[in-house]
Each structure stands twice: as structure tokens, then as C-alpha cells.
Amino acid sequence: MTATAPIGLSDLRSFLHGLPGVDKVGVEARAAALGTRSVKTSSKAKAIDLAIRMVDLTTLEGADTPGKVRALCAKGRRPDPADPSCPPVAAICVYPAMVPVAAAALAGSGVHLASVATAFPSGQAPLEVKLADTRAAVAAGADEVDMVISRGAFLAGDYAKVFDEIVAVKEACGGAHLKVILETGELATYDNVRRASWLAMLAGADFIKTSTGKVAVNATLPITLVMLEAVRDFRERYGRQIGVKPAGGIKNTKDAIKYLVLINETVGDDWLSPDWFRFGASSLLNDLLMQRTKLTTGHYAGPDYFTLD
């Protein structure tokens, strides 16, 4: 147990199951209602720039090569070559093997380098392998680590195992920030999402993240809403602020803005920053750029006006 969590490991189960329940109908209705907020003109321009600064520009393919990763890093540093006022993204997110390439490409840019360590995306590997994965990524220059939890252990009720793994990975991270991927689509219920969020935070996560992007259900507004409520309640109780990262399936500006509205009206200002909120996305950026250009020029430019990766 970390210093901030005054509950014993043996009480973990009763603690997690004693959290307030989540009513499915209610949370989905609330997320849908916030989704109808109208964000236009000046507030839309601000939202787009903020969303760009929150993007973890990601490539997680078996086919990733140094060339592909270098191209992505260049894009992250300068998303819109035609407009120097366009801010850089928050981070580039790659597999551990690609970290050295990305580290070189990002040197001096201020763009963070995140790596999905710990046997991403299944998490089905011995702990030693996960830790080695993590250490290698950090040693190669990653300052953020996105780990996956053992959903199998969580669903089997073995909370202590999940907890211990997070603690161990956090330790292996050293100074790097730890984002804990809950893979909410596999946790199936909102109650589980809330419990897993608390479990990860108690174990020392710096960020909680919805998904790997590799399963059928990835980030959704109601799931993110539940996680935001969890980080809000956690800070109230333990005084420590945790970040949130929805990932997978957020493809356009309209959707991204809905997430910003959700933060705005659930946890407020304190989380409206790339330090505390990220979008795990690969295709979102170009739509943000397209909308950004539309706001300044009044016209939509075709896809060929924005870089491929």
C-alpha cells in the first residue's frame, strides 16, 4: 500500500466493493446530456488547441518501423507545417522497441515520450517480463509508461495481484509517469470501472487510462465520466491528483470536445491541461487540424492539405 492509502491490503476487496455504485442508465444519460453542449467560435478555437496539446499521438502496429516512428515524431513536434502557431502534441506513444528511435527524434522538443510496456496489449506475461519491458523502455528514454492491468486477475477477484503488479511497475518506472490501462471494455460494468480506477490510484498510478485500443469497446463518454468522478473523489479523500486518458476510437473534433466538456463540468479547471488529461489517439489529430484551419480560414481544406502521419 502506498503512503497515501490508509487501508490494509486485506481490506482491499471490501473497500472496493464499498464504493458507491454506478447506475448504468443514469451515467449514460448524464454523458449524453453533456454531449449536447454547444461549443462554437472562440470557445471552439480554444478547445481545439487544448485538445491538440492533449493528444498522445500513437502508433502501435506490428508493422511499425523506425521510419514510421520518426515521421510520427516530426508530426507531433509540428502538427501543422503551414501554421507555426499550432501547438505540439503532448506525447508520442510507441512500443518499447521503438523508444530509442523516438527518443532521438524528439530530443529537445518538449514532447513527452510514452511507451506501452508490460506485455501490451494483453498483459498476459510473467511479472518479470513486464518489469523488464518497463525498465528497458525507461532506460531508452521513455518518460511515460502506459501499463496494462491483468484483467484476468481483476475479474477473478484477485485484486491484490493487480495491486502488487502496479506497485512493482511503478517502482520499475523510476521517475517516469505511470499510466495504468484498465481496458474498461473487458471490465464490462461501470462498477468494475470505478473499482479498477480506485485500485490503480491506490497502487500509485499517475494516470488512469481506459483502453489499449485493441478491443471492441474502447473509450466511451460514460466510462470516462465514471473515471473522472473517481479521480475527483480520490483527490478529495487523499489529496493526490491523478490524470485521466481515454484512448481508442476518438476520431474527430466533435468527440474530443465532448470529452473536454465532460472534464469541465465534472472535475473542472484543474484537469483541463495536458498534465492531467490526454487523448490516446492516432487519427484524431488530423481532424483537429482540419477544424482548426476551418476556424481561421472559414473553409474546409481537403485531406491532402494535412500530413499523412
* Catalytic residue chosen out of the listed positions 146, 191, 206, 287: 146
Q: 44 vs 53, which CB is nearer to another protein?
A: 44
Smallest gap, in angstroms, from Cβ of residue 272 to another protein?
6
Q: 31 vs 200, which CB is nearer to another protein?
A: 31
Smallest gap, in angstroms, from Cβ of residue 275 to another protein?
15
Q: 140 vs 261, which CB is nearer to another protein?
A: 261
Smallest gap, in angstroms, from Cβ of residue 29 to another protein?
8
Of the candidates 262, 289, 290, 298, which has an alpha carbon nearest to the alpha carbon of residue 277?
Answer: 262
Whether 254 and 294 have beta carbons less than 8 Å apart is answered as no
- CA dist 50 and 54 (Å) reads 6
For residue 15, the one-letter residue type is F
| DSSP annotation of 189 | S
Smallest gap, in angstroms, from Cβ of residue 218 to another protein?
22
- CA dist 9 and 145 (Å) reads 25
Smallest gap, in angstroms, from Cβ of residue 251 to another protein?
21
- CA dist 206 and 276 (Å) reads 9
User: Does residue 164 carry a catalytic annotation?
Assistant: no
Q: 19 vs 167, which CB is nearer to another protein?
A: 19
- CA dist 90 and 137 (Å) reads 18
- CA dist 264 and 23 (Å) reads 21
SS3 (DSSP) at 147: strand
For residue 21, the one-letter residue type is G
User: Does residue 209 carry a catalytic annotation?
Assistant: yes
Contact positions vs another protein (CB under 8 A): 20-23, 25-27, 29-30, 36-44, 46-47, 50, 229, 260-261, 263-265, 268-269, 272
User: Does residue 158 carry a catalytic annotation?
Assistant: no
* Catalytic residue chosen out of the listed positions 130, 179, 209, 258: 209
Q: 46 vs 254, which CB is nearer to another protein?
A: 46
114 is written with which cell numbers? 510514452
- CA dist 231 and 250 (Å) reads 21
247 is written with which cell numbers? 484512448
Contacts (Cβ under 8 Å, ≥6 apart) of 65 = none
Q: 46 vs 139, which CB is nearer to another protein?
A: 46
Smallest gap, in angstroms, from Cβ of residue 253 to another protein?
15
* Catalytic residue chosen out of the listed positions 245, 255, 258, 287: 245
Strands annotated E in 32-140: 55-58, 91-94, 112-115
SS3 (DSSP) at 3: coil
Catalytic residues: 146, 209, 245
